[in-house]
Amino acid sequence: MGRSGDVLLADEVRTGRPPAPWMVDVSDLRPVPDHQEVWADTGVDQAIIFEIVEHDASVPDGEAGRHMFEDAAVGNEAVAAAVESVAPLGVQDVPGVSEASYRCVVRGRQTVRRGQQAADTCVLLAVLRLPHVGSDLLITLSTPSTPPPPVGDAAVAAAAALGEGEQQELMAGVLRSLRVQSWELFG
């Protein structure tokens, strides 16, 4: 999948660069489902996930962001989840996917169990609805609210943990550089 740093989802979706220079392509470390591309900073448990999901026409566009966030919380087995905001995105925010019928970014928090401990995680979720191909494209940036305590080389990684402003900048950059090369992967 994303070996060259800009190719995502079987060369059908691209970004202009890796999501962040310190992130690694998780498919180099373990199997990743075909409908996902995952980049991570394993030192601080931060990840950005590109995922194609089936379009659910029963969910109105105005509720799609909240619905996708809550669905992700269930999938993550979150012990708590809260949506803080849902902001619409314009075509200028995602110029390479102008075909999206609806675009938004959700900001929220999820408390996810990792072993015996629960970690509060800040989640930015971009939702691009693509009913013409029967799919939606989700881009999720998850960042621990509090970085884990530094251990060895993790001290360097912990310094790279993104604050709220940097998270928004990273997501905005990914969305601006996103391009669909072929719609064959969708649907």
Helices H, strands E: what count in the chain? 3, 10
Region 136-164: what's the mean pLDDT? 67
Cβ-in-10-Å burial (0-12, 13-18, 19+) of 177 comes to middle
What tens digit of pLDDT does each residue of 28-42 get? 888 888 888 888 887
Q: What is the pLDDT of residue 167?
A: 85
Region 120-147: what's the mean pLDDT? 91
pLDDT band at 80 (very low <50, low <70, confident <90, very high): very high
Task: Tell me how far CA of residue 159 lies from CA of 24, 25, 47, 82, 120, in angstroms.
Answer: 16, 20, 15, 26, 18
CB 81 within 8 A of CB 73: yes
Task: Tell me how far CA of residue 74 lies from CA of 70, 102, 137, 160, in angstroms.
Answer: 6, 23, 18, 28
Most confident range, picked from 15-24, 31-40, 60-69, 159-168: 60-69
Q: Which residue type occupies 64?
A: A
* Whole-prediction pTM: 0.83
pLDDT band at 175 (very low <50, low <70, confident <90, very high): very high
CB 56 within 8 A of CB 135: no
May I ask the CATH class of domain 7-185?
alpha beta
Which two three-digit tokens encode residue 26? 């998780």
The residues spanned by each domain of the chain are 7-185
